[in-house]
Chain A
Amino acid sequence: MIAPLDDRQALQLRRLLEAGLPLAARPYARLAEQLGATEDAVLEQVRQWSDDGLFRRMGLVLKHRALGFRANAMLVLDVPDDRVDAVGQQLGQAPGVNLCYQRPRRLPQWRYNLFCMIHGRERADVVERIERLLAEHGLDGLPHQLLFSTRAFKQCGGRYAPPQPQEPQEPQQVIAHG
């Protein structure tokens, strides 16, 4: 029987996981040392979270700009409310669309309710792919805009766990990420 983590340790473990696993053999044992827990208890907790669907995925999280994906466009469309689910599903299934979300309009400042991310190496190529995509789906008549990103000020994972001011802000790790 493994003694489970207490609430404080579980919260601290979430903060550590949000910063990434140590790049060292037995990474969960390294995290366990920082929590004052056993490797088994940490693994058990992480498996539980994984089974509960807390993670979208687990793996290498890459920085697309450094990998050569420098032309990153956010395509925003103003889709009539009664069509937005259907259009979202269409575009969401199209090859090359990485993310496709519905978000609220904020009138009068912001009229667009469907957001797609499309990444590529060359801007001209991304523009052409998007024009083709819209034409293929008969959506080129909808009001839309392309917002290319020109600079990344910050690119890291989400920090969902509440802050713990009494804990050090940056956990000690073999390799610092973020």
Chain B
Amino acid sequence: MELDSLSRRLIDRFQHGMPLCAEPYRAMAEALGCEEAEVLAGLQRLDRAGCLSRVGPVFEHSRAGASTLVALAVPPARLEAVAACVNGYPEVNHNYLREHHYNLWFVLTGPDRAHLDRILTQIEAETGLAPLDLPMRSAYRIDLGFPLEVAS
């Protein structure tokens, strides 16, 4: 997507933080020197273009519950079916195909570790594939922001 100037400014300014108040979009507009309606229209354009996952909090997994990275080695012929099965769980996010023998990689999140264990058991039973369960041990960097100068 070719980003318009307002979308670019919204991303640069507010991907790492935004005001927590009753009228956050108005506060964002004031910070950028434009109208609230323009901010909302800009966010809706990003959303329609598929660039925006959402606006709001990213939960800290160690505080918000449990999470783990899971990999499956899926025979290529079964890829669509297994990916659809995995995607069917609301606990699954960021499900990617990667170039490796372990080719399906996804993050599993839930209220606690026991919940994740149940989902892993179910996925193994449904797919007949043994998941690699790779929970985080230490985080050395967590930065989900993307500098747009690299993208443009």
Contact = CB atoms under 8 A, between A and B. Distances in A.
Interface of A: 17-21, 23-29, 39, 43, 46-47, 49-50, 52-64, 66-69, 72, 74, 85, 88-89, 91-93, 97-104, 106, 109-110, 115, 119-121, 145, 147-163, 169, 175, 177-178
B6 interface: no
B51 A157 contact: no
Interface of B: 1, 3, 10-11, 14-18, 20-26, 36, 40, 43-44, 46-47, 49-61, 63-67, 69, 71, 83, 86-87, 90-100, 102, 104-107, 109-111, 115, 132-146, 148, 150-152
The interface residues of chain A, by DSSP majority, are classed as mixed
Main secondary structure of the interface of B (DSSP, over half): mixed
A165 to B, nearest CB: 11
A42 B66 CA distance: 24
A158 B93 contact: yes
B95 A62 contact: no
Nearest to B138: A102
B91 A159 contact: yes
Contacts of B136: 101-103
B95 A20 contact: no
A158 B97 contact: no
Given A24-B40, A67-B1, 13 more contacts: A54-B57, A59-B58, A62-B15, A62-B51, A68-B152, A91-B140, A92-B140, A103-B69, A103-B136, A153-B95, A154-B95, A163-B90, A177-B54
A64 B146 contact: yes
22 contacts: A54-B64, A58-B56, A60-B46, A61-B55, A62-B11, A63-B50, A63-B51, A66-B1, A66-B49, A68-B151, A88-B138, A99-B143, A147-B99, A148-B99, A149-B97, A150-B99, A152-B94, A153-B97, A158-B61, A158-B65, A175-B44, A177-B55
Contacts of B100: 145, 147
Given A147-B105, A150-B98, A103 B59 contact: no
A129 to B, nearest CB: 10
Given A62-B53, A104-B137, A149 B98 contact: yes
Residue among A62, A99, A158, A163 with most chain B CB within 10 A: A158
Given A66-B1, A74-B98, A55 B59 contact: yes
A175 B42 CA distance: 13
B47 A23 contact: yes
A2 B41 CA distance: 32
B146 A155 contact: no
